[in-house]
Amino acid sequence: MSEKVLVTGGAGFIGHILIKHLLDNTDWEIVTIDRLDYSGNLNRFSHMLKDADSETKKRVKIIYHDLKSEINNLIDSQIRDVKHVFHLAASSHVDRSIVDPMTFVYDNVVATGNLLNYARNLDKLETFVYFSTDEVFGPAPDNISFKEWDRYNSTNPYSASKAGGEELAVAFENTYDLPILITHTMNVFGERQHPEKFVPNTLWKLRENKKVLIHSNKDKTKPGSRHYVYAEDVARAVLFLVQNLELVKKGNLDEYGAKCLKVNIPGTKELNNLEVAQLISKFSGYKLNYELVDFHSTRPGHDLRYALDDSFIKSIGWEPKYSVEEGFEKLVKWFLENPEWLDF
């Protein structure tokens, strides 16, 4: 009998990409929990698995549940005996968090607490992977990339709620010996991403001949920048980490001896927002019409630059498969062949 794993938020963007990677590269049975809100879309499964055989499709069980409520006996009866938990379910939009911060507290802190409390009673659990974000560290000064155990400096309710969930995970390892692995990812792009996000939204605007607004500094001279990472590479990194936990443990990431494991999964190259739009224009053939806007001064909580240090994950033998340019070229081609995923 194959092993079983739990993925929360499996109908979400990164969640469904991870599930596809696990189906292709393991024989695991996958149970996924999703509440199917604006970010969770079952059409991702039907589209992703349209060419899969019936046995592969049978390896995925989808459970409808909102993790703001504890996992009851009925839900538990459909999970049980999982080897790994991948916790991706979250609210993840900075703008929404600024308008409605308490939703993010419930979704990212309370929900994480409920899942951790359930997981501490799983007898066969080997790893609980908590997906965090580069944004918990706050804005990065020029030439600075944050390492796994650097201090938090959350600048909006979204990043604060992710830091809160992260600290709960650390506490559950310290209190209950729950085997926690925390990952920090940067700007992830890939197939079937929600069209409100910058990359698919930019392609949609180019297609519709609309102006692309590029977030910049107060003087409108310097676009904001991020490290971008292809979603398939994130899935590859996560599977690599859980299959090589001993390498991670030998890294001794925290100089003060914390038990919890933390690993950054950054992109291969830093790009500013204008450079990203230019790449999308280049690979799509659509003309770019843009304007630099001072969004950061008018909307506190939007940071101009984030950056993660990648030295640890490289030291244990993992690197992305795709360069940023290769990833964007592959993705733009995919969206042009599947235009229904660009429509609001």
- Which residues have a catalytic role annotated? 134-135, 158
Q: H/E element holding 130?
A: strand 127-133
Contact of 272 with 225, CB cutoff 8 Å: yes
Contact of 95 with 86, CB cutoff 8 Å: no
- How does 70-93 read in b/e, with b if 16+ C-beta sit within 10 Å? ebeeebeeebeebbbbbbbbbbbb
Interatomic CA distance for residues 133 and 128, integer angstroms: 16
Interatomic CA distance for residues 51 and 198, integer angstroms: 29
Contact of 212 with 279, CB cutoff 8 Å: no
Contact of 194 with 201, CB cutoff 8 Å: no
- End-to-end, the C-alpha distance of the chain in Å comes to 42
Its sign, for the CA torsion 44, 184, 151, 67, is: positive
Residue 159: which of 226, 91, 100 has the closest Cα?
91
User: Cβ of 227: how many Cβ atoms within 10 Å?
Assistant: 24
Contact of 233 with 153, CB cutoff 8 Å: no
Interatomic CA distance for residues 226 and 106, integer angstroms: 27
Residue 341: which of 62, 52, 20, 47 has the closest Cα?
47
Beta bridge partners of 131: 183
**Side chain identity at 123, as an amino acid letter?**
D
- The alpha-carbon radius of gyration of the chain (Å, integer) is 20
- For Cα atoms 279, 147, 176, give the angle at the middle one, nearest 5 degrees: 120
C-alpha 344: how far from chain center: 21
